[in-house]
Amino acid sequence: MPDFTRYSLALLEGGQMLYCAGGGGLRPLWDALEKFQGRSGLILHDKVIGLAAAMLIVRSGIVVEIHTKVASRPAVDFLEKNGIILHAAEVAANILTRDQSAVCPGEIIALSCSNTDDFMKSIRAFLGSQAKGSH
C-alpha cells in the first residue's frame, strides 16, 4: 500500500520500488514517466490524480495500475476508458489548488484541450513556465 508520508509519488515494478519523489503538482509525475519511458506494466502510487495526470499516464503507456488518495471524476472516466486500473480512496468533481480556491491549472489545461497533441503542447509550456518561475 502507498506510504504518502514518505513520498508523493512512487513507481513500482514487480512489487519493488523503482522510483519515488516528493513534491506536488505534475512535475514529479512528468519526470518519472520520462525517466522510465519504454518500460511497461508499472504500478503508480500518486497522492492526487487529476485529468492532466491521467492523460500523461495513458500517453506514457508504462503504467497499468494506479493507487491514489484523490482522483477527479474526469480522470476516473478517462482512465477507465483507456483500460487503466485505478484505486482511489476518494473521487472529487475536480482537483483543486492547495488553498481550495480554484480548479488546479493542470486540470483546466486538460479539460480545455480537444486532443492529446494539443494537451501535450500546452502542458509542456505550462511545466516549462513553472520551472522558470521557481528558480
Domain boundaries along the sequence of the chain: 9-133
From the CA atom positions of the chain, what is the Rg in Å?
Answer: 14
Question: How many CB atoms lie under 10 A from the CB of residue 48?
Answer: 25
Dist CA 70 CA 55 (whole Å)? 16
CA atoms 64, 13, 66, 131: torsion sign: negative
Dist CA 35 CA 37 (whole Å)? 6
Cell of 59: 500517453
Cell of 103: 480548479
pTM: 0.92
Instruction: Report, as an integer, the average pLDDT of 12-39.
Output: 94
Dist CA 49 CA 57 (whole Å)? 10
Q: What is the pLDDT, as a whole number, of residue 131?
A: 58
Dist CA 25 CA 80 (whole Å)? 22
Instruction: Report, as an integer, the average pLDDT of 98-102.
Output: 93
- Return the residue matching grid coordinates 501535450: 120
Task: Give residue 129's pLDDT band: very low, low, confident or very high (50, 70, 90).
Answer: confident
CATH of domain 9-133: 3.40.140.30
Percent of the chain with pLDDT over 90: 85
Q: pLDDT, tens digit, for every residue of 79-89?
A: 999 999 999 99
Query: Is the Cβ–Cβ distance between 33 and 53 less than 8 Å?
Result: no
